[in-house]
Amino acid sequence: MIGRLNHVAIAVSDMEAATAIYRDTLGAEISDKVAQPDHGVSTVFINLPNTKIELLEPLGDASPIAKFLEKNPSGGIHHICYEVDDILAARDKLVAQGGRVLGDGNPKIGAHGKPVLFLHPKDFLGTLTELEQA
């Protein structure tokens, strides 16, 4: 069902400092910072030859990343994202097997302009997992 690893997301409290580490220290190609109000975050993508790193910064006090950073003030890995060919079929199969989809269970449009869903970490080895339509 799952395809390639699309990205690993890292929550950061200071996007400028985080992008400087990847750009200046590691020599990575980075995207522009983009606000994602529907998800309560701003994002920057680090482009790697085989995948991406997504840096997440809170966008407002109600951001789910703000709560994560309260518990992890230095930041850290927030979630992983896998591609799926058919997000609705993947959701239905997971739910039938007892998996929980966060939110109302319907895909939202993610940072890449494609439908995404998040799966409950308790069902996936303690890891928040995002599925993105390929």
pLDDT tens for 43-89 read 999 999 999 999 999 998 889 899 899 999 999 999 999 999 999 99
Chain-centre distance for alpha carbon 25: 23
CATH number of the domain to which 51 belongs: 3.10.180.10
* Cβ atoms 40, 58 nearer than 8 A: yes
Active site includes 54?
no
Give the structural domain span for 116: 2-133
Choosing from 54, 83, 130, 132, which is the catalytic residue? 130
**3-state secondary structure (DSSP) of residue 103:** coil
Is the whole-model pTM more than 0.75?
yes
3-state helix, strand, coil in the chain (%, to 5): 25, 40, 40
> How many angstroms separate the CA atoms of 113 and 60, rounded?
21
Number of domains in the chain: 1
Chain-centre distance for alpha carbon 113: 13
